[in-house]
Chain A
Amino acid sequence: MTILQTIGFGPTGWGGLLLVATLMTLCVTAAALFIGMVLGTLVAWAKLSGSRIARSIGSAYTTVFRGVPELLIIYLVYFGGSSLVTAAGAAFGYQGFLGMPSFVAGALAVGIISGAYQAEVYRGAFLAIPMGELEAAQAIGMNRTLRFRRIIAPQVLRFAIPGIGNVWQLSLKDSALVSVTGLADLMRTSQIAAGSTRQHFLFFIVGGCLYLVLTSLSDRVFNGAERRANRSMPAGIGQA
């Protein structure tokens, strides 16, 4: 069998499965980015708030989830989540082991990690808003919600785009680790294909290339988004 047949789309080729797996990797990463966005906003809010307790909870979150190996966090969520699900099943009268769906566990684990990095991104973006603008908003009588909606949120989003792009790239690579829970993402499918055809080198090269396609395409998307968000701003240093 030639190489093209092995990685192609024919009846004996792995091409179709690899493309589906690439989509799966994208979906896990997108779900993780979304979960991380919610967690990151909450943690950034806690770290910026006046309450000392909230601040220390926020710092503990970012320290722990940025300082511990990603693989360990995936094990925590997958095995810990599975024992919670099993306990819940036992409460409803189901005897036996219930596994947590690996997509949910993976997205949650990568999302928790991504949340720690996104919190720092949002905090930095908030601190980049000139103090005078917040004071001006207060001076003309905007209340907290209005100030958040009109002044803070649009600027934080604009300042945060490059940082979110970095976190996305990081999550894309972290999502490869979700393969240890058995989710058929790009990493896992390359591994299965490599194992069953005994062509390890070929399939890991193909898998790696597909990851490179994903990372370089998303680089372009985020550069475009940054340009678009800054289109009304005067061109400054370091803009794409």
Chain B
Amino acid sequence: MDLAFMASTMLTLVAALPMTLALFSLSVVFGGLLALLVVWMRVGGNPVARGFAKGYIFVFRGSPLLIQMFLVFYGLGQFGFIRYSVLWPALREPFVCAVLSLSLCTAGYTAEIFRFGLRSIPAREIEAARAVGMSGFLLTRRILAPIAFRNALPAYSTEVMMMVKSTALASLVTVWEVTGVAQRLIAQTYRTMEVFLCAAAIYLILNFLILQLMALLEYRLNPHRRAAPLFPVAPQ
């Protein structure tokens, strides 16, 4: 194994890391917001909205992300009303298409995760909140959202890790992130193993850091599950 080659490969790949991080963070944010909307429709009382949300979740979880991405990237440009609309300067950018399809796809998975978080709230806690007069937004803000998010967090961290891996598909619509650059290096040098090891190391470190952050968040959000401190009042 050639250490000089590995070092230069690593530098080339790390240069593409900001693109991966940009794809990842934008689609986690937009996907999360969209998921909130979908889960609101899914658990709400309106049967039309519920049916739409069910359909959305079925379609985006049941088909591969790659075909969704190609549909957005190649498919939308075929319609004149999109090509001549104000959105076209954005939608012709591969980066925007990649973020759009990543967000749409993750929203389907995340909505399901949030829904299970909601379902795991004990009914008596909601009853208690209603008994003291909370309803609507106050109930959501004080009781539903915090408990549901806390319960959904372990499954949500898995989904966030999947998102890191999914950004690799953006290379197939010509966004040059880490996997795309790795593929170009492999095709140029035919040193598959070295390039793979470098790229794999980047993704594993990234995933490890994200999981640590999520674990920290889980720890911070679950003070009631920690053992009581030995000295409730700090000794003077």
A residues apposed to B, CB below 8 Å: 63-64, 67-72, 75-76, 79-80, 83, 172-174, 176-177, 179-180, 187, 190-191, 194, 198-201, 204-205, 207-208, 211-212, 215-216
Contact = CB atoms under 8 A, between A and B. Distances in A.
Interface stretch (B88-96, B125-133, B188-196, B227-235): B188-196
Contacts of A83: 190, 192
Contacts of B183: 71, 75
A187 B200 contact: no
Contact of B58 (A69, A204, A207, A212): A212
B65 A173 contact: yes
Contact of A71 (B74, B171, B190): B171
Contacts of B143: none
Interface of B: 58-59, 62-68, 70-71, 74-79, 161, 164-169, 171-172, 179, 182-183, 186-187, 190, 192-193, 196, 199-200, 203-204, 207-208
B63 A198 contact: no
Q: Indicate the member of B65, B79, B187, B200 with the most A CB atoms within 10 Å.
A: B200
B71 A216 contact: no
A25 to B, nearest CB: 10
A216 B183 CA distance: 33
B182 A75 contact: yes
B200 A68 contact: yes
Question: What DSSP secondary structure best describes chain B's contact surface?
Answer: helix
Nearest to B65: A173
Contacts of B67: 176, 187, 190, 204, 207-208, 211
A164 to B, nearest CB: 18
Given A72-B200, A83-B192, A200 B75 contact: yes
Contacts of A190: 67
Given A75-B186, A199-B78, A204-B70, A68 B62 contact: no
Contacts, number: 114
Among B187, B196, B199, the one with the most A-chain Cβ atoms within 10 Å of its Cβ is B196
Contacts of A177: 64, 66, 169
26 contacts: A64-B204, A72-B196, A75-B183, A79-B192, A80-B192, A80-B193, A83-B190, A172-B64, A173-B64, A173-B65, A177-B64, A177-B169, A187-B66, A187-B67, A191-B70, A194-B70, A194-B74, A200-B70, A200-B74, A200-B77, A201-B76, A201-B78, A208-B59, A208-B63, A211-B62, A212-B58
A53 B176 CA distance: 38
Contacts of A172: 64
